[in-house]
């Protein structure tokens, strides 16, 4: 059976995976969006279902004032003695912490903080001991991948933080993980920055404290030299073994908009690449160290790709997200409609405007919703961050309603199109394409073409940061109350 990458589409970066009770569980970064750290489940590593989030309460994560691509960075998930552990960094407070649960579908604990710096923390368990690893600076001032032993019940450090590995010589050493396989310890990390030069490197040693000998052919996985290839930026991986003994690497990658257009706006997505161990104990990955879009594996389970998202087949607590901590009194969400009430903030603010969004999952398709407003502004936004978003909306005033297309690109905020409509209830539609978005409004029997805008201006290469585009619903200004109905996003 063949499967196709990415195995999870859209902005779900920095994947980490564990196996428990015959199933697999995966977490990803969430940055300034809430709830935080999306959580997935799978029985086969190919078909993943989001079952919720790990950070669901304000007490677990501070996001106030967190700019775009700040907040919650890369997470690691591990399972030991009946307990799940999710460990991550909140850059808004500059601290590493972990939370726990014995019920993967239930609530997670309050944070347990570890006084070790850096980002991208990971946990390793052995013989009743717990070890905490991150990139950063050790207690002697040495930058490296650093590690300490901790009391897993309290987070207290039981040893100094020690430098254990300096990687393979690339810049931005990050996302370390430690494994014991076949009697040897393997340490794996990413280098090159989470961009076109991204890569995965590893080393091997006889002690969990090192020294580690670098794999002679590092990097073990990278697409940095594959010009004109769709999947780029491959890095930040985690190893996992199937019940049949096969090894795979779950890692991030992004799809550029066209073979020769080095822009990506869907965000960093989840890919999976086969791993093979040699007789010498070293492992290789993919096709001569690169990730392909398709792989043949030993499985008879087909890959099911979900292409339709509606209010009825999604959950506000699962697929949908807010910006930072929302004022929940401003939202009434059901399987039939969403009612949003404007607060004091707009989409341009580093705050929590009245906004709820679902990730754009693929290049081509349509996103549509019927919106009714009583005053102010409300509509559909293709949202990258507070400085980069395209808004198709209704604006209500004493003179009636008009449909507006507003383009926000950096410091330029321009109302590209405005036309009166017959009522304050219309259908908003966005045609999705890899290179552009095309906007239209259906006003009764009239179809109003509002123009188009290029996707590149919502890309990470233009906007910066580490996130991806959301298809968002919003209400703002003048105490606006908006009713959204018949939402549908369909990919093709």
What residues are annotated to the active site? 14, 174
Task: Give how far Cα 445 sits from Cα of 92, 268, 419, 442, Å.
Answer: 49, 40, 15, 7
Q: Residue 42, SS3?
A: strand
Structure tokens at 15: 């994947």
Helix, strand counts (H, E) of the chain: 1, 38
**What's 302's DSSP letter?**
P
Contact at 8 Å (CB) between 390 and 406?
yes
Structure tokens at 350: 């580093």
Contact at 8 Å (CB) between 101 and 109?
yes
Cβ within 8 Å of residue 163, ≥6 positions away: 138, 140, 142, 143, 144, 145, 146
d(CA 295, CA 285): 12
* Closest residue by Cα to residue 221 from 267, 259, 175: 175
Q: Residue 328, SS3?
A: helix
As a whole number of Å, the end-to-end CA separation of the chain is 22
Q: Which residues of 441-453 are buried (b: 16+ CB within 10 A; e: fewer)?
A: bbbeeeebebebb
Structure tokens at 47: 């078909």
Which pairs count as long-range contacts for 207-213, CB under 8 Å and 24+ apart, including other chains?
208/124, 208/126, 208/131, 208/147, 208/178, 208/180, 209/147, 209/162, 209/164, 210/164, 210/165, 212/164, 212/165, 212/185, 212/187
**What's 56's DSSP letter?**
-
Query: Residue 214: how many CB atoms within 10 A of its CB?
Result: 16
Residue carrying the six token digits 């604990």: 109
* Closest residue by Cα to residue 455 from 285, 252, 205, 267: 267
Structure tokens at 335: 């399987």
**What's 247's DSSP letter?**
E
For residue 211, cis peptide bond before it (omega within 30 degrees of 0): yes
Q: What is the CA radius of gyration of the chain?
A: 23
The angle at the Cα of 268, spanning 260 to 38, to the nearest 5 degrees, equals: 160
């Amino acid at each position: 059976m063949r499967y196709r990458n990415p195995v999870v589409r859209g902005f779900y970066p920095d994947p980490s995976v564990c196996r428990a009770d015959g199933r697999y569980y995966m977490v990803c970064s969430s940055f300034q969006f809430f709830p935080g750290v999306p959580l997935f489940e799978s029985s086969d590593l190919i078909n993943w279902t989001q079952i919720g989030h790990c950070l669901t309460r304000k007490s677990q994560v501070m996001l106030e004032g967190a700019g775009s691509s700040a907040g919650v960075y890369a997470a690691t998930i591990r399972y030991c003695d009946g307990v799940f552990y999710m460990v991550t960094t909140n850059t808004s407070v500059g601290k590493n912490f972990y939370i726990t649960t014995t019920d993967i579908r239930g609530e997670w604990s309050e944070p347990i903080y570890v006084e070790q710096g850096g980002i991208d923390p990971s946990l390793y368990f052995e013989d009743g001991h717990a070890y905490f690893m991150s990139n950063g600076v050790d207690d002697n001032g040495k930058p490296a991948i650093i590690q300490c032993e901790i009391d897993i019940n309290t987070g207290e450090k039981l040893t100094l933080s020690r430098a254990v590995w300096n990687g393979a010589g690339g810049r931005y050493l990050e996302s370390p993980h430690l494994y014991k396989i076949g009697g040897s310890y393997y340490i794996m990390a990413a280098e090159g920055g989470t961009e076109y030069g991204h890569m995965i490197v590893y080393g091997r040693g006889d002690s969990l404290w090192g020294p580690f000998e670098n794999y002679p052919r590092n990097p073990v996985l990278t697409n940095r030299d594959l010009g004109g290839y769709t999947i780029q930026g491959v890095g930040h991986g985690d190893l996992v073994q199937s019940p049949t003994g096969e090894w795979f690497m779950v890692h991030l990658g992004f799809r550029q908009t066209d073979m020769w257009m080095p822009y990506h706006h869907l965000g960093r997505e989840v890919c999976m690449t086969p791993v093979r161990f040699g007789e010498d104990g070293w492992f290789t990955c993919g096709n001569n160290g690169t990730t392909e879009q398709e792989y043949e594996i030993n499985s008879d389970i087909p890959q099911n790709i979900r292409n339709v998202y509606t209010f009825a087949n999604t959950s506000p607590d699962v697929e949908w997200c807010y910006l930072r901590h929302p004022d929940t009194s401003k939202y009434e969400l059901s399987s039939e409609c969403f009612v949003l009430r404007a607060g004091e903030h707009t989409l341009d603010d580093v705050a929590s405007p009245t906004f709820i969004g679902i990730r754009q999952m693929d290049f081509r398709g349509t996103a549509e919703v019927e919106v009714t407003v009583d005053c102010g502004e409300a509509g559909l936004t293709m949202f990258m961050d507070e400085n980069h978003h395209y808004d198709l909306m209704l604006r209500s005033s004493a003179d009636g309603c008009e449909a507006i297309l507003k383009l926000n690109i950096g410091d330029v905020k321009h109302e590209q199109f405005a036309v009166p409509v017959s009522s304050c209830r219309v259908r908003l539609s966005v045609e999705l394409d890899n290179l552009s978005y095309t906007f239209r409004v259906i006003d009764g029997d009239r179809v109003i073409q509002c123009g188009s805008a290029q996707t590149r201006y919502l890309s990470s290469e233009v906007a910066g940061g580490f996130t991806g585009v959301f298809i968002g619903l919003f209400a703002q200004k003048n105490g606006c109350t908006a009713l959204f109905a018949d939402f549908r996003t369909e990919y093709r």
